[in-house]
Amino acid sequence: MRFLKKGDDKKPKSEAEQAAKGHPDLKVISGSQISGQRPQQPTQQQQQQQNITLPNIQYKIAVASGKGGVGKSTVATNLAISLANAGAAVGLMDADAYGPSIPTMMGIQEQPKVSPERKLIPLVRHNIKLMSIGFMVPEEQAMIWRGPMLHSSIRQLLSDVEWGELDYLIIDLPPGTGDVALSLTQAIPLTGALIVTTPQDVALADVRRGVAMFERLGVPILGIIENMSYFLCPHCNEKTEIFRKDGGKNTSERFGVAFLGQIPLDAEVCTAGDIGVPIVAGHPESPQSEAFGTVAQELETVLQESGDDDELTIL
């Protein structure tokens, strides 16, 4: 329920006007301007009209999970830096309207600048070009956004940003199977999605939901990444499997998709994210960073192999 304050009885501002307040130089177009009365499932023709092609970006990859808090943003950030360390040009787009965390994890406090062509210039940290939906709109406002507003802001993050030439654009999604993933897949032809999970059964049930959503949207699953797979003792380097063993691996076998690797549960991974220097940037030689490096290599292999036969698995 909305309570009116004194003097608040004028015509309410449109969602677009409210959203534009998030960034002084940004005009957020309303969802209806983009697609009119957007049906739940757009026709192929509508989808083509809506598509932003981003021809200068080779791979556009969403990082998703069915469940919250499994480490999507941590994986997206460290994976992006691992790819950049291997020589790729990488952008990282934080599409989590409900809790954008990438700026914190990447140690960014400032706002992006606007070019003379009225495009947002991504901020650069740890050799990564970065843009967040959090720069465009205050979090508490985005929390109450409905589909059309999310839709227009996702499109702006793609089309109104000077991404330049990139090998990879890694896109961090909010948890679950909601509007953001739908908007993203309607806006650009994604190369594919990565699903992050923990080895537990409950998380794996959510993986199935995530996989089913991308299946419906016609987006290939590039692979599954198992996070918090084991605890690596900092004293003796012994591995302890705190949650169930190999859950992500077994699930990937069941779905017939690539298993890209296991990331240990580790206090330094967590701290590094909190202080804005992801572990792969701060300690590139550590075993934790090596685990992210393995995921990056496996991803590259999947993409190369799919390029060879020009086909990715759409489940």
Binding residues for ligand ATP, rule: CB under 6 A, are 65, 68-74, 96, 99, 101, 174-175, 227-228, 263, 265-266, 269-270, 273
Smallest distance, ligand ATP to C-beta of residue 143, A: 13
On whether the CB atoms of residues 284 and 112 are closer than 8 A, the answer is: no
Smallest distance, Mg ion to C-beta of residue 101, A: 5
Question: What are the angstrom distances between the C-alpha of 275 and each of 36, 72, 104, 107, 166?
Answer: 43, 17, 8, 7, 27
Q: Cβ of 135: how many Cβ atoms within 10 Å?
A: 22
Give the binding range for Mg ion (CB under 5 A) out of 4-12, 64-72, 87-95, 195-203: 64-72
Question: What are the angstrom distances between the C-alpha of 224 and each of 34, 137, 157, 255?
Answer: 33, 31, 25, 10
Give the binding range for Mg ion (CB under 5 A) out of 97-105, 148-156, 265-273, 279-287: 97-105
Residue 188 structure tokens: 């650009």
Alpha-carbon distance of 67 to 226, in angstroms, equals 13
**Per-residue string for binding with Mg ion, 100-139, x by CB under 5 A?**
-x--------------------------------------
Return the number of the residue (73 or 191) whose C-beta is nearest ligand ATP: 73
- Listed in sequence order, the residues at least 6 apart from 43 whose beta carbon sits closer than 8 Å to its beta carbon are none
125 interacts with, out of ligand ATP, Mg ion, none, CB within 5 to 8 A per kind: none
Smallest distance, ligand ATP to C-beta of residue 171, A: 12
Q: Which of 60, 67, 72, 125 binds Mg ion (CB under 5 A)?
A: 72
Smallest distance, Mg ion to C-beta of residue 173, A: 8
266 interacts with, out of Mg ion, ligand ATP, none, CB within 5 to 8 A per kind: ligand ATP
12 interacts with, out of Mg ion, ligand ATP, none, CB within 5 to 8 A per kind: none
Smallest distance, ligand ATP to C-beta of residue 169, A: 17
Smallest distance, ligand ATP to C-beta of residue 36, A: 31
Return the number of the residue (73 or 82) whose C-beta is nearest Mg ion: 73
Return the number of the residue (20 or 280) whose C-beta is nearest Mg ion: 280
- Residue keyed to tokens 């989590």: 96
Q: Does 73 bind Mg ion (CB under 5 A)?
A: yes
- Residue keyed to tokens 């961090």: 172
100 interacts with, out of Mg ion, ligand ATP, none, CB within 5 to 8 A per kind: none
Return the number of the residue (64 or 89) whose C-beta is nearest ligand ATP: 64
Return the number of the residue (73 or 156) whose C-beta is nearest Mg ion: 73
Return the number of the residue (31 or 103) whose C-beta is nearest ligand ATP: 103
275 interacts with, out of ligand ATP, Mg ion, none, CB within 5 to 8 A per kind: none
Binding site for Mg ion (CB under 5 A): 72-73, 101
